[in-house]
Chain A
Amino acid sequence: MSDLSLDVRVAMRDAFHKLLAKLSREEDVRHAMDTAPGYSARLWEQMSEIGITGLLVPARYGGIGAGPVELEMLMEEAGASLLCSPLLSSGVLSAVVLSSSSDEEIKARLLPDLASGKRIGALAFTGNRGLWTADDVEVAAAQTRDGWRLQGTSSYVLSAAQADFLLIFARRGSGCACFEVDPKDPQVVVEALPSWDATLRISKVICSGATGTPIAGADWRIAERALDFARIALVGEQAGGSRRIFDITIDHIKTRVQFGRAVGAFQAMKHMAADLLLEVESATSAARCAAQALTEHAPDAGALVSLATFTCKDVFVQVAASAIQMHGGIAFTWDHPAHLYLRRARADAQLFGTSASYRERYLAQLEQRI
C-alpha cells in the first residue's frame, strides 16, 4: 500500500471532517441508530465521493490505495463524531481480505463496487467465543461434487445484515480459508444480534450447507492482515472518540456553576481532568505510532499495534465513563451524548479481542524480540 502525499492526506481529512460535521451530528447518530440499516445512505454515498469507502482498495480497482497512516487519521475523525457506517466491515476488513488475496477474478468482480460503496462486504471470522483467532473458527468447509459447502456458525459479524456479499472463514483441512458466500443463499441465515451500543450492527451468520466460492490465497494469514488494519482503524476511532468526549467534558466543567464557581475550579475535577488528558494523549501517540510502524513494516510494528490496541481500548472506556461522572446528573439522561460514547467505547473494547489479550500479546512480542 502506498502512502499518500501529506497534502492529499490533509485534504482528505478536512473533507471528511466537514462531511461528518454536516451529516454525522449527534442528531444524525441518534437517527441512524434507530433505523434498521444503522447508517445513512446519503452519508455513505458522500463518503464514497471523497474516497473513504475505497481508502484501502488499490487504485487499479478504483480505490485510493492508502495505508494504515491514512486510515488511522481518518478514523480519529470518525470516532470523534461516532460515525455510523459499514466502513469497518466493508472498507477495512473486506477490502483488506480481498486485496490481499491472489484471486484476480474475485478482486476484479468485487473490489470496484466495494471501493465505490455500491456494494457492502462483511467478514465472518470468529465463532461464538469471540476470540478472533483461527482456533475460534467454527465453520467447516467441505468439498462436494457441486463445489464447496459451508456448515457452522460465525458470530459478531459486523454489518452482515447490510452486506451484499459475505466473506466467511471456514476450516479447510488443517487450516482456515476464506469463502465468498451470497447472503441470499437459502442455506444462509443472518441473525441480527441486539447490541448495547445501538450504533453497532452485529449478527450471527449460520451456514447450513451454504455454497462457498473459495478465494485463492485467502488463508488465515490474510485474516491476520485484515485484523491489523482493523486494529489500526479501531485505535484511530478510540483516540478520536476519547479526545472528543474529553473536550465535551472540559467545556462542561468550565461552564457548569455550583457553589458560585465553575465546577472545573475544584481540584477533584481538575485532577480527574489532568489524569484523563495524559490518557488521551497517550492513546493518540500510541495509535499514530502503531499506524506509522505498520506502514513502514517496522520490526516493532507488531508490539506497537498491540500496545496501541490495549491502551486505546482501556483509555476510551475510562474517558467515556469518567465523562459521565464529571458531568453529573445531566449525563445520566438519555438525551445527553456522553452515554453514546460509553456505548461505543465498550463495544470497541471487545471487538477483535480484549485489552487483556492484547497485553499478553504485547508481552509475548517483546519476549520474542529479546
Chain B
Amino acid sequence: MTRVTKSTSDDELRKLVRDWLQAHWNASDRRPRDAAVQNWVRVVFDAGWSVPTWPVEWYGCGLTSQQAALIEAEFACVHAPGAGLDRFHLAANTVLTFGQDVLKREVLRGLVVGELKYCLLYSEPGAGSDLAALRTRADREDDHWLVTGQKVWTSGAQTADFGLLLARTDWSVPKHQGISFFCLPMKQSGIEVRPIRQITGDSHFNEVFLDSARVPATHLLGQENAGWKILQTALAYERLMMGEGAGERRVGQEWHASQNDNSVDLLSLARTHGCHENPWIRQEIARALGYRHLNALNTDRAKAELTVSRSSSLMSLGKLAMSRILHEDARVMTSILGASSLLDGPQYPDAADVNYRTANAYMTSIGGGTDQIQRNIIAERVLGLPREVEVDRNVPFGSDRNDTAMR
C-alpha cells in the first residue's frame, strides 16, 4: 500500500482510508472481509492506520493529530475498530513516550495489536486515594531491579505479560519524588496473583504479591525517581479512555461493538411489578432516567466543546455523574421491587439484578478515585479552589514511616 506522510492531502488521505476499508472491512456485518482474520487490529496496524501519529521509526507515519482524526472518522463511519490507538492505548503510548529502545522493540507492537497483555500495578493496601504513599520497593542489582511489595485492585493480572509498576526507589526524599515507573514482566516466579472476591461475588480484580520479582534495568521508564510524572501521562490516557465511554473503541481482537451500556429499563420493570401507575414511583423513575439523559447531553456538549478547545470542564464531571446514575438506578429499582428485592438467585432474576447493581455501583463511586477525591479534583482543577493541605507532601518518606496520622 501507499505509505501516507504528513504531506498527504486530506482528500487523498480520506480516499486511501476509505478504499482500504472498502477492501478489507465488511461494514454491514461489522466484520473483516477475510473470515480467516484472527486479529483485525493487527491487520489495521500493519496497514498503518492504528498509530499514524507515531514516528516512522516506531510503526507510525508521523501524521498530525488532525490527519489522524480523519482516519478515525473514516473507521467510525463503518464501525471498524482498530484506529486511534495512538490516542487511546495506555500502555503502548506510555512505553513509546518514556521507554528505552530495547523495551520499545520488545513490546510496542505486541501491545498495540493486543498480542501482549498488560495490567496496572499502582494501588496498594496502604495507598488508595493517596497513591504516592506506596511502599512497594525496587532495589537496583547490577542490570536489573528486585521488586518486593503488594499491589491490589489489579485487573487482568493472571493473563498479563507485563505490569506497569510504580515502586519506591528512594526512601530519603518526599513521597512523590522517590517513585519510579517500570514495565515488569509478569510471568516469573517472584509474582503471585490472588483473585479478590468482591461484594458482588465477582472477581474482576486481584492482589499481586511481589517477592524479589526481577525487572531488567532496560524496563525502567523515564528517569529513576521520575515515576510520578510518568504516571500523570499514563493517567491522562486512562481518563481519555474512560471519558469517551462506550463505542467501538475497545482494544483487542473482538470486533463487536463493546457493550458498555449499563442502562436499565425502569419503566418496563415497573410494569412487570405492577407499579408503573404509582405516582411516587413515576417521579422516582423520571428523576433517574433524567440523570442518565442529562449525562448524555453533557457528554455531547463536552464533545462539541472539545472540537473548539483542548479541554472541557464537563469531562471531569462525567464520572461523578455516572456514580449517581448507577446508585440512583439501583435505589429506584429497589423501590419498584419492594419486598421482592429481599430475594436473590436465578429463580428471582429481577431481585438478583437489583441486588447486583446495588453492590456494583460502588465500582464506579470508589474505583478510579472515590467520588470524594473526584469532588476535590473538580473543585481544585476546574473551579480553582485552594489545594488541600497535604501534611506529608514535603516530608522525606523514610523507610520507617508508619501509617498513623501525622499531626
- A-side residues, CB < 8 A to B, are 250, 253-254, 261-262, 264-265, 267, 269-271, 273-275, 277-278, 281-282, 284-286, 288-289, 307, 310-311, 356, 359-360, 362-363, 366-367, 370
**A264 — which chain B residues lie within 8 A by C-beta?**
379, 383, 385-386
Interface residues on B, range: 35 or more
Considering only CB atoms, which chain A residue lies closest to B270 in the complex? A363
Q: Does B229 contact A (CB under 8 A)?
A: no
A132 CB to nearest B CB, Å: 19
B378 contact from A274, A307, A310, Cβ within 8 A: A274
Are the C-beta atoms of B383 and A277 separated by less than 8 Å?
yes
Are the C-beta atoms of B298 and A282 separated by less than 8 Å?
yes
Are the C-beta atoms of B317 and A366 separated by less than 8 Å?
no
A360 contact from B282, B383, B385, B386, Cβ within 8 A: B282
Are the C-beta atoms of A273 and B385 separated by less than 8 Å?
yes
| A-B CB contacts (within 8 Å), total count | 108
A274 to B386, CA, bound (A): 13
B290 contact from A262, A281, A362, Cβ within 8 A: A362
**B393 — which chain A residues lie within 8 A by C-beta?**
none
Are the C-beta atoms of B267 and A265 separated by less than 8 Å?
no
Question: What does the 1/0 interface line of B373-404 toward A look like (CB < 8 Å)?
Answer: 01110111011111111000000000000000
**B313 — which chain A residues lie within 8 A by C-beta?**
277, 281
Asked whether A273 and B282 contact (CB < 8 A) given A254-B386, A285-B294, A370-B267, the answer is no
Which residues of B240-297 have CB atoms within 8 Å of chain A's CB atoms?
Answer: 267, 279, 282-283, 285-287, 289-290, 293-295, 297
Are the C-beta atoms of A277 and B388 separated by less than 8 Å?
no
**4 nearest CB pairs, A to B:** A270-B379, A359-B286, A274-B375, A265-B386
Considering only CB atoms, which chain B residue lies closest to A310 in the complex? B290
Asked whether A281 and B314 contact (CB < 8 A) given A307-B290, A362-B290, the answer is yes
Tell me the dominant secondary structure on chain B's binding face: helix
A318 to B286, CA, bound (A): 18
Given contacts A267-B375, A273-B383, A282-B294, 15 further A-B contacts (CB under 8 A): A250-B385, A254-B384, A265-B385, A265-B387, A270-B376, A271-B379, A274-B375, A274-B379, A274-B383, A275-B320, A277-B382, A278-B317, A282-B295, A289-B301, A362-B290
A367 to B289, CA, bound (A): 12
B383 contact from A250, A284, A289, A311, Cβ within 8 A: A250
Which residues of B310-365 have CB atoms within 8 Å of chain A's CB atoms?
Answer: 313-314, 317, 320-321
B127 CB to nearest A CB, Å: 20
A26 CB to nearest B CB, Å: 23
A154 to B285, CA, bound (A): 34
Are the C-beta atoms of A275 and B375 separated by less than 8 Å?
yes
B375 contact from A271, A282, A307, A367, Cβ within 8 A: A271
